[in-house]
Amino acid sequence: SLIRQIRAAGGAAEAFCADISHSQAVRDMVAAVENRFGPIDCLVNNAGIAQQKLFTDITLEDWERMISVNLSGVFYCCQAVLPGMIRRHTGSIINLSSIWGITGASCEAHYSAVKAGIIGLTKALAKEVGPSGIRVNCVAPGVIETEMNAMISAEDRAALADETPLMRLGTPEEVAECIYFLAEEKSSFLTGQVLSPNGGFVI
């Protein structure tokens, strides 16, 4: 597992689980992390769900679940870590959106809506907490070879690759490099930005 790899390389790692659609569960998780490792310097809001449905087929439960996990979850996690970051006058928050939050996607209206919301939240929060020395940025990946996209047929994946100027889909490692860049000091003058590793699919 990833945790074993980190430990084998001499690092310290541990998994803490929570249903991020519940604010108290998030607060409890953050408290447990801080108890174990101390202050949180960097937050990556990467948890999310996806669903493909015609707009007229989206149920109220589909809509509310999409918002509670993909948007409210980001809100809860940011709220839980920000007091400590503000006190220490330092911190980096990286929110994961999607190219569909920029362009919209047919049959993914609710997913596109929450991913656009994450971009708006990122920009607003960056302005608000910048004076406290905290950076807030967003990564909006294109089509990436992940478990979430495994539901897309091989034919559709090939078509998406053909529409991409670099003629392929992205890898999780390429997205991780963007996240790492935004977390470290090399990006110390970047805040409120949307970095989109998408192979030229959206320019």
Of the listed 75, 76, 111, 201, which one is catalytic?
Answer: 111
Give the residue from 54, 141, 163, 51 showing the smallest Cα distance to 94: 141
Is residue 111 flagged as an active site residue? yes
Give the residue from 135, 120, 125 showing the smallest Cα distance to 186: 135
In whole angstroms, give the CA distance from residue 102 to residue 81. 26
Tokens 């996806």: give the residue. Answer: 50
Give, for 74, the enclosing helix (H) or strand (E): helix 73-88
- Would you call 94 helix, strand, or coil by DSSP? strand
Give the residue from 191, 38, 57, 55 showing the smallest Cα distance to 125: 191
Residue positions annotated with a catalytic role: 111
